[in-house]
Structure 1
Amino acid sequence: MDEAERDLIRRAQGGDGWAFEQLVCPYDRPVLAMARDMVGDLADAQDVYQEALLAAYRGLRKFRMDSSFSTWLYRITVNHALRFRHRRQRRHDIEEAGGADAADQPSVATDADLLKQELQRQLDHALEDLSRQERSAFVLCHRQGLRIDAAADIMECSSGAVKSYLFRARDKVKKTLAPYLEHE
């Protein structure tokens, strides 16, 4: 962490909203993309992102600067995304018990568009089937492009654990997507 970032953190900790905005601005798109990868829907990801930013703003006074600001912000976002997924799963279980149906929507799409949409749905489905550790590792390393040590900091585990989660996640995703990738 450079001195300019430390200065922004100190100013934001003192209540300077502009300083906080300058701190989070470089991470805006990557954090939103990570939230989308974690929850599977852009609208839900925007909610998670807003909750995470609010939590970061409220908790900034407790930030001790022993990790990078980005690691801290990613960790908050991952935690909010996991809580969101847990709440959504509980709602889904309740709705499923009531027999909720999905609405059919007419659309015009090419075969390539349909294949891409189906592949994305299957990837989202494969990610849903991963454990929270496997999903976090997969999203952080493969979708966000973070190094294993950075993912380990965010996930608060060892680099070896992240490698293990990644191995299992890749294997599960590959098995889920295999029938769709064979047709290409």
Structure 2
Amino acid sequence: MIKVLIAEDMHMVRGALVALLKLESDIEVVAEVSSGNEIMPAARTHHPDVAVIDIDLPGKDGLTAAAEIHEQLPEVRTLILTSLGRPGTLRRAMAARVSGFLLKDAPADKLANAIRGVAVGRRVVDGDLALAAWDSAECPLTAREIEVLRMAEEGANAVEIAAFLYLSTGTVRNYLTTIVNKLNARNRVDAIRIAKEAGWL
């Protein structure tokens, strides 16, 4: 029996996933959580074989939680379930060492089969998305530039970003100018849009 933990914040979607998996004779849902912060405690308590995790969760995001599971509970495989079918998102998921990556609009039987594949140690990735990621450009931004842009996306100004990252305000402004130039964006807002659409944020 494959023991599964489901992490999905939308109650109706989570209920549908549980109902679908209950139809499978070899899969048992042992835990359901609605936020990223609940994933590790639930995984430690219930010892699932596979954690099916939505990327966009309140609290800790799904990829951060998946990376933590990989580090602290390597025997638990992770399958990311998302509506964000962007190549950059898949790249981030692979960097977090997830075992599988599936789009939410995939047919129901694909989910059960993906769980089975991941449980036996296979890497399961949506085929079309894998091809798109292969063809897409690498993120031109450094880790620090992404950090600055993410804070800007959250509404922080240059002074606030500088204080948080222990940088000078001038350095942060230089980072923002470099980011805009690297992404061929019109301004900071446009740079955030481009990075989000590419899945880099």
TM over 0.5, yes or no? no
TM-score by length of 1: 0.32
| RCO higher in structure (CA 8 A, sep ≥6) | 1
Considering fraction of residues, name the structure with more strand. 2
Considering fraction of residues, name the structure with more helix. 1
TM-score by length of 2: 0.30
